């Protein structure tokens, strides 16, 4: 026969389903809930008395809350005329919440849902998605502040200020720790014109028009004549993407390199400029208009992440060519290949067939060749046909 502890465990598993029904407005048809249960009375008379009494003492009829036992009076050949349990029922959400030790959660959730529906009715479709109420419960103590942020962005789309400058009585830490939650809500309440789709949820500030500390890209001009044409006092500088875009670069080749040391050890090359990509931030380079008309090459690690970055870069700069990211390079340096990050294969739609084949191979074998381990002689050879900067040759 089912024990009270088992009924409690079943109630805990039932609670999320009941909340889903409540969110959907179907709670009246959900209760009373008849719980599947083994109610067969043991043939041993002492065991039967003990187990039935345990069931009775923990029931709502005795405790005032929880599950209700449905009894039927009948005569049994083994136990004679007695009341036998025939069903276990939970009559209300309050009973279920107390039985599953979720009364506090149920109370907080009701307040949070009503507040969300009252202040932002357009978020009803977010709330209706399965289990999103759990997210709401997680932030229930800070919900007022989060909704203040949503209200402000709704009334002041793309505010063009830092998060700390928002005229709200909320901490920047609240915004920073809830970026993905806020992003899910902002995508619903804001018009498309207030959202920059080039940036994902993890790039909250540029996606919704906040200022932020822009990543700086290391710039190294590999040709002294090009440096002179650009009016740069130094061959190596660090600039944010918007400042980089102001450079008047014409008829130049560009190398985007992930590793800083590799960038700094590139040879002098005619009308060539090298940029440090900063991993996933490399996509911010796509706002640099002169890259659209330049001969752009990308050199990243020979691993799953390197090809994923190349794929994202090609979404915005379709003509980007990969550099030193071939199976030939990988196989020729097999002695310095190391274990990868265990990344699973996924669809990358902007790679060539040969790049895709190598990407899949690296994922399946969990291998990588980090660009900083490639010998300098191999790098030098890759640039032999590019042409050495004439001014550099003259000044030797």
Angstrom distance (rounded) from CA 268 to CA 224: 9
List, as one string, the DSSP characters of 71-127. Answer: EEEEEETTTEEEEEEEEEEE--HHHHHHHTT-HHHHHHHHHHHHHHHHH-GGGHHHH
Q: Summarize the chain as % helix, strand, coil (round to 5).
A: 55, 15, 35
Per-residue model confidence (pLDDT) at position 195? 97
Instruction: Render pLDDT for 263-276 as a digit per residue (tens, 0 to 9).
Output: 999 999 999 999 98
Label residue 132 left, alpha or beta by phi (over 0 means left) and psi (-120 to 50 means alpha). alpha
Q: Is the peptide bond before 396 cis (omega within 30 degrees of 0)?
A: no
**Helix 103-119 × helix 4-23 angle, to 10°:** 0
Both tokens assigned to 64: 């005032």
Angstrom distance (rounded) from CA 2 to CA 7: 7
What lies within 8 Å, CB to CB, of 66 at 6+ separation is 58, 59, 60, 90, 95, 98, 99
CA angle 163, 164, 170 (to 5 degrees): 95
If one counts every other C-beta atom within 10 angstroms of the C-beta of residue 217, the result is 22
List, as one string, the DSSP characters of 296-339. Answer: EEEE--BSHHHHHHHHHHHHH-TT-EE-S-SHHHHHHTGGG-EE
Angstrom distance (rounded) from CA 3 to CA 197: 54
Both tokens assigned to 183: 């992003």
Q: What parts of the chain have a pLDDT lower than 50?
A: 391-396
Closest by Cα among 208, 164, 209, 221 to 182:
208
Per-residue model confidence (pLDDT) at position 131? 87
Angstrom distance (rounded) from CA 295 to CA 52: 82
Give the H or E element holding residue 367. Answer: strand 367-368
Instruction: Render pLDDT for 265-314 as a digit per residue (tens, 0 to 9).
Output: 999 999 999 998 666 677 777 778 899 999 999 999 999 999 999 999 99
Closest by Cα among 275, 364, 372 to 320:
275
């Amino acid at each position: 026969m089912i024990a009270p502890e088992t009924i409690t465990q079943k109630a805990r598993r039932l609670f999320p389903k009941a909340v889903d029904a409540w969110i959907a407005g179907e709670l009246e048809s959900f209760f009373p809930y008849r719980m599947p249960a083994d109610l067969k009375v043991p043939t041993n008379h002492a065991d039967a008395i003990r187990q039935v009494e345990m069931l009775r003492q923990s029931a709502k009829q005795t405790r005032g809350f929880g599950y209700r036992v449905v009894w039927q009076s009948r005569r049994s050949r083994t136990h004679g005329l007695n009341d036998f349990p025939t069903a276990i029922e939970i009559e209300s959400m309050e009973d279920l919440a107390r039985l599953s030790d979720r009364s506090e959660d149920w109370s907080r959730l009701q307040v949070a849902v009503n507040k969300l529906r009252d202040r932002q009715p357009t978020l009803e479709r977010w709330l209706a998605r399965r289990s999103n109420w759990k997210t709401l419960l997680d932030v229930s103590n800070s919900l007022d502040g989060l909704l203040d942020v949503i209200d402000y962005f709704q009334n002041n789309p793309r505010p063009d200020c830092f998060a700390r400058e928002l005229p709200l009585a909320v901490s920047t830490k609240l915004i920073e720790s809830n970026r993905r939650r806020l992003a899910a809500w902002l995508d619903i309440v804001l018009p498309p014109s207030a959202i920059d789709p080039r940036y994902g949820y993890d790039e909250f500030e540029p996606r919704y028009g906040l200022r932020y500390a822009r990543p700086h890209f290391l710039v190294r001009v590999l040709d002294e004549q090009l440096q002179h044409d650009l009016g740069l006092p130094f061959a190596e500088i660090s600039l944010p993407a918007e400042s980089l875009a102001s450079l008047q670069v014409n008829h130049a080749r560009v190398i985007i390199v992930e590793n800083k040391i590799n960038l700094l050890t590139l040879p002098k090359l005619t009308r060539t400029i090298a940029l440090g990509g900063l991993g996933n931030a490399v996509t911010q380079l796509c706002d640099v208009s002169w890259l659209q008309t330049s001969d752009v090459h990308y050199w990243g690690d020979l691993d799953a992440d390197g090809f994923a970055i190349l794929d994202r870069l090609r979404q915005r700069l379709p003509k980007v060519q990969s550099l030193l990211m071939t199976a030939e390079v990988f196989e020729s340096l097999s002695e310095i290949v190391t274990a990868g990050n265990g990344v699973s294969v996924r669809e990358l739609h902007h790679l060539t067939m040969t790049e895709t084949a190598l990407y899949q191979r690296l994922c399946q074998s969990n291998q990588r060749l980090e660009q900083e381990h490639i010998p300098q002689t191999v790098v030098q050879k890759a640039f032999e046909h590019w042409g050495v900067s004439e001014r550099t040759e003259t000044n030797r």
